[in-house]
Structure 1
Amino acid sequence: MRLIQVTDCHLHADPEARSRSGFPLRQLHAVLEHVRRQRPDVLLVTGDVSEDETLASYRHAAEAFSAMACPWFWLPGNHDHPQSMAEQHQIRDDIDLGDWRLLMLDTQVSGQPHGELGQAQLQALAERLEEDDRPTLLAMHHPPLEIGSAWMDAIGLADREALWQTLAAYSQVRAILCGHIHQAFASRHSLREGEVAVYGSPATTDQFLSGSPEFAIDEASRPGYRIIDLEGETLTTWVERVDL
């Protein structure tokens, strides 16, 4: 099973709109062309699909993702309008990956850059984990760990400690995939029953400078995506970059 994560497309209604360092829709198409050659079984989009929250921006995205020869799933980021997303393509919360399971979590706090799961969603997550002990991936927009950039860490997942407390009882959760950070990231969080890996992915649009205490674009980096291969109970993952 090959899952590929793309994230942070930041599209506009205008297909020729610029970002800080490029053209978001052109870059998304270039990334997806590269992804297509990797023969994904599932495409996962971890939020900030749109920059301007317009229906047209989500139509551009849905057309691009639907041209892939595999099922695709998305979740909202802090820049997104979930209702407009759902008009274009259903937002799912539980994806069957055969031997594995993918649970999609909504961390959006309306009008705010930071994320939060909330007690009700955490309780629902515990209930979902109780009913199925297959190896499990979680996907969310905001990172559940500090990444070493002060400005980004201030707008990460606000209730991350509550998330880790919830996951402490469920050893089947093997990894969390997040967006928001516009850079490659890999770390681990230790729990009573073992470790949970946390992976971030480069954006399809602008890249953020790793380790910077203040907001900064990484002008030297390229758009990219993350490959996650699931074989039995083994997870293997790496990042691919795309030349424009």
Structure 2
Amino acid sequence: MRLVQVTDCHLHADPAARSRTGVPHRQLHAVLERARSLRPDLLLVTGDISEDESPASYRHAAEAFSALECPWFWLPGNHDRPRYMAEERELLDEVDLGEWRLLLLDSHVNGQAHGELGQAQLQALALALEEDDRPTLLALHHPPVEVGSAWMDAIGLTDREAFWQTLAAYAQVRAILFGHIHQAFTARHASRQGEIVIYGCPATADQFLAGSPEFAIDEASRPGLRVVDLDASGIHTWIERIDS
């Protein structure tokens, strides 16, 4: 099973609209062309699909993702309008991957840059893990750990302690995929049940400078995606980038 993650597309209604370092619409299509060459079984989009929150931006995204000719799923980021997303493609909370399963979490908080899962969603997560002990991937938009940039850590997942407390009882969670930080990232969280690996992903649009205490663009980096191969032996993952 090969999963490709893309994130933080920041599309506009106008496909020619520019970001700080390029044209997000064009960059997304270039990233998806690379994804196509990798022959994915599934595409996962971890939020901030839109920049201007317009219905047209989600139509552009859905058309681009559908052209990849594999199943695709998305979840909302802080820039998104979940209602507009749902009009184009249903927002699911679980995807059956055969030997594995993928649980999609909604960390979007209306009108805010930070993320939060909330007690009800954490309870639902615990119930989902209680009912099925297959190896599990989790996906959400906001990072559930600090990433080493003060400005970004201030707008991460605010209830991450409750999130980790929820996971502490379940050994089947193997990895977490997230967006929001516009950069490659890896961390590990140890609990009494074992180790969970946490992966951030480059944006398809602008890249953020890792380790910067204030907001800064990494002009030397390039848009990209994460490849995740799942099999009986575990997870194998790497980053692919394109020339923008």
Query: TM range, normalised to the smaller chain?
Result: over 0.9
Hey, what does 1:207 align to over in structure 2?
A: 207
SS of 1:163's partner is: helix
How far did 1:233 drift? Answer: 4.3
Name the aligned partner's letter for residue 119 of structure 1: Q
Instruction: Quote the sequence identity (%).
Output: 74
How far did 1:170 drift? Answer: 0.4
CA distance in 2, matches of 1:65, 1:216: 29
Name the aligned partner's letter for residue 152 of structure 2: M
CA distance in 2, matches of 1:107, 1:209: 23
SS of 1:195's partner is: strand
Hey, what does 2:129 align to over in structure 1?
A: 129
Hey, what does 1:192 align to over in structure 2?
A: 192
Hey, what does 1:29 align to over in structure 2?
A: 29
* Correspondence 1:84-233 to 2 at 5 A: 84-233=84-233
In the alignment, is the contact (CA less than 8 A) between 1:24 and 1:205 conserved in 2?
A: yes
Gaps of 5+ in 2: none
Hey, what does 1:70 align to over in structure 2?
A: 70
Hey, what does 1:58 align to over in structure 2?
A: 58
How far did 1:217 drift? Answer: 0.1
SS of 2:90's partner is: coil
How far did 1:231 drift? Answer: 1.1
Name the aligned partner's letter for residue 176 of structure 2: I
SS of 1:229's partner is: strand
CA distance in 1, matches of 2:233, 2:124: 24
Name the aligned partner's letter for residue 36 of structure 1: R
After TM superposition, the structure 1 stretch with the greater mean CA deviation from structure 2, 231-240 or 50-59, is: 231-240
How far did 1:232 drift? Answer: 1.1
CA distance in 2, matches of 1:105, 1:118: 11
CA distance in 2, matches of 1:148, 1:191: 21
SS of 1:198's partner is: strand
Task: List per-residue Cα deviations over 1:40-78 (Å, max 9, x = no partner).
Answer: 000000000000110100000000000012000000000
Task: List per-residue Cα deviations over 1:79-137 (Å, max 9, x = no partner).
Answer: 00000000011111100011000000000111000000000000000000011000000
In the alignment, is the contact (CA less than 8 A) between 1:135 and 1:233 conserved in 2?
A: no
CA distance in 2, matches of 1:55, 1:241: 28
In the alignment, is the contact (CA less than 8 A) between 1:99 and 1:233 conserved in 2?
A: no
CA distance in 2, matches of 1:233, 1:13: 43
Gaps of 5+ in 1: none
Aligned length: 244
CA distance in 2, matches of 1:233, 1:117: 30
What is the alpha-carbon root mean square deviation over aligned residues?
0.5
In the alignment, is the contact (CA less than 8 A) between 1:203 and 1:225 conserved in 2?
A: yes
Task: Give the TM-score taking structure 1 as reference length.
Answer: 0.99
SS of 1:218's partner is: coil
CA distance in 2, matches of 1:233, 1:169: 22
CA distance in 2, matches of 1:108, 1:64: 23
SS of 1:4's partner is: strand
